[in-house]
Amino acid sequence: MLLVRVKSMVRINSLFGYVAPVCGREGTHGWGCGHHLRLLLLAIAVLVLGGCASSGGLQGGGHQNLPHDTAMPEQASPAIEHLWQVFQRYEGAPYQYGGTTQDGFDCSGFIGTAYREALGRQLPRTTDQMLARGRPIELHEVRPGDLVFFRISGKDQHAGIYMGNHRFIHASTSSGVMESSLDSHYWRPRYSRARRF
């Protein structure tokens, strides 16, 4: 098993233009296989951590802090549980501009349907109307059930329902009804504001 791993390490190292000696033989610098393995693991750790550290640059500066909630969906209130149930019922339904049914939703159509079915509440039909009528809140104040809005092509064109743990549910143009992360490289720089109803 160890020999298989060492041979795999030699193959991996050769991808980077470096071939480690086989275990049991000394390299030209007197280093054994264990030293090369440690160097390789260190290099992998640096690459992984470097990739995590560089993600902030993709998000842009000046963004608000994400919500500080820690509640898991299973600890959610009954109202949020009902929103999860509606989401599970429609998850994967296709995107359709102007749509308000399982045959196809746009983002505000899904929000309106979810609020009506889960909470018995009627919301304004469009994202512009939702922005105008909802109570403004800061991102760090957002709690499950609040609406989050995103700026695409220079104006607020997309919205979803925040569900906790930096997650929101929405009808995306590419994948239909789905769950996404506010902290993703796509959504975080596009976040614009939040509303509470």
pLDDT tens column, 44-76: 443 333 332 222 333 333 345 555 554 444 466
In a domain, 20, yes or no: yes
In a domain, 77, yes or no: yes
In a domain, 65, yes or no: no
Indicate if 186 and 129 belong to the same structural domain: yes
Indicate if 45 and 111 belong to the same structural domain: no
**Helical ranges in 21-126 per DSSP H:** 33-59, 78-90, 107-114
Task: Assess whether pLDDT exceeds 80 at residue 33.
Answer: no
Q: How many domains does the chain have?
A: 2
Indicate if 98 and 150 belong to the same structural domain: yes
**Contact by Cβ (8 Å): 109, 173:** no
Per-residue pLDDT, 178: 98
**Helical ranges in 60-177 per DSSP H:** 78-90, 107-114, 127-133
- Other CB atoms within a 10 A radius of the CB of residue 1 amount to 5
What are 103-125's pLDDT values in tens digits?
A: 999 999 999 999 999 999 999 99
The residue range of the domain holding 115 is 73-196
What are 137-174's pLDDT values in tens digits?
A: 999 999 999 999 999 988 878 999 999 999 999 999 99
In a domain, 152, yes or no: yes
Per-residue pLDDT, 156: 76
Indicate if 97 and 181 belong to the same structural domain: yes
The long-range contacts involving 59-62, CB below 8 angstroms and separated by at least 24 positions, are 59/185, 59/188, 59/189, 60/189
Q: Write out the H or E segment, with its range, that includes residue 169.
A: strand 167-172
User: What is the CATH number for 188?
Assistant: 3.90.1720.10
Indicate if 45 and 140 belong to the same structural domain: no
Per-residue pLDDT, 46: 38
Instruction: Give dist(CA 124, CA 127) in Å, integer.
Output: 8
Indicate if 48 and 84 belong to the same structural domain: no
Coil/strand/helix, residue 146 = coil
Indicate if 49 and 97 belong to the same structural domain: no
Indicate if 126 and 188 belong to the same structural domain: yes
Residue type, 127: T
Task: Assess whether pLDDT exceeds 80 at residue 24.
Answer: no
Catalytic site positions: 107, 158, 170
pTM, whole model, 2 decimals?
A: 0.65
Span 87-91, average pLDDT:
98
